[in-house]
Amino acid sequence: MDNVENDAQEAALQFRFMTLGDIPDVMIIEHEAFTLPWTEEAFQNELTHNHFAKYMVMELEGTAIGYAGMWTIMDEAHITNIAVREAYRGRKLGEKLLDELMKTAAYLGMERMTLEVRVSNRIAQSLYQKKGFESAGLRKGYYSDNGEDAMIMWANLPPASRSGEEEGSVTDS
């Protein structure tokens, strides 16, 4: 993709908070991205009962092409999931989604962010390292589908200026 197309794509990207109506689209992304996909009920519970949960959708021309979620507890954010539709991978959209999630966490007063990632997922680890995450240990046998270990990663978030600034570019629509 050339720079003109890339710029146009970036301008057309929108981030907004996830609603219950987004779950069917999120399930498609979830099944494309993960060997252990969450259920519709899990997302419904996150959106309706978990007051620590914050989920966002990334749209391109009105179509959900990615989503991300986190739990915000005290001054720490824990990334629960982040995924991009298979057809849109390789365009740095996962990085844009992570940037938006990190900005939103900082805006909400979070100082640090953590996540678990499969030890075999070098592509994701590379992205997280690029964004300031560092390995802080392993969770042995974390993934129940194959018993794979998870690398625990942490990053410090830059403080967000809240005076007259919107929460990232996420909209409530």
Which one of the listed residues 55, 67, 107, 128 is annotated catalytic?
128
Looking only at the bridges linking them, the beta strands covering 63-73 and 134-139 are: unpaired
Which one of the listed residues 40, 111, 116, 167 is annotated catalytic?
116
* CA distance linking residue 104 with residue 99, whole number of Å: 9
Report the length, in residues, of the chain: 173
67 is catalytic: no
User: Do the beta carbons of residue 13 and residue 59 sit within 8 Å?
Assistant: yes
128 is catalytic: yes
**What's the alpha-carbon Rg for the chain, to the nearest Å?**
16
* CA distance linking residue 152 with residue 172, whole number of Å: 31
Structure tokens at 166: 């919107």
CA distances from 45 to 2, 20, 31, 71, 90 (A): 41, 10, 18, 13, 31
What is the set of active-site residues?
116, 128
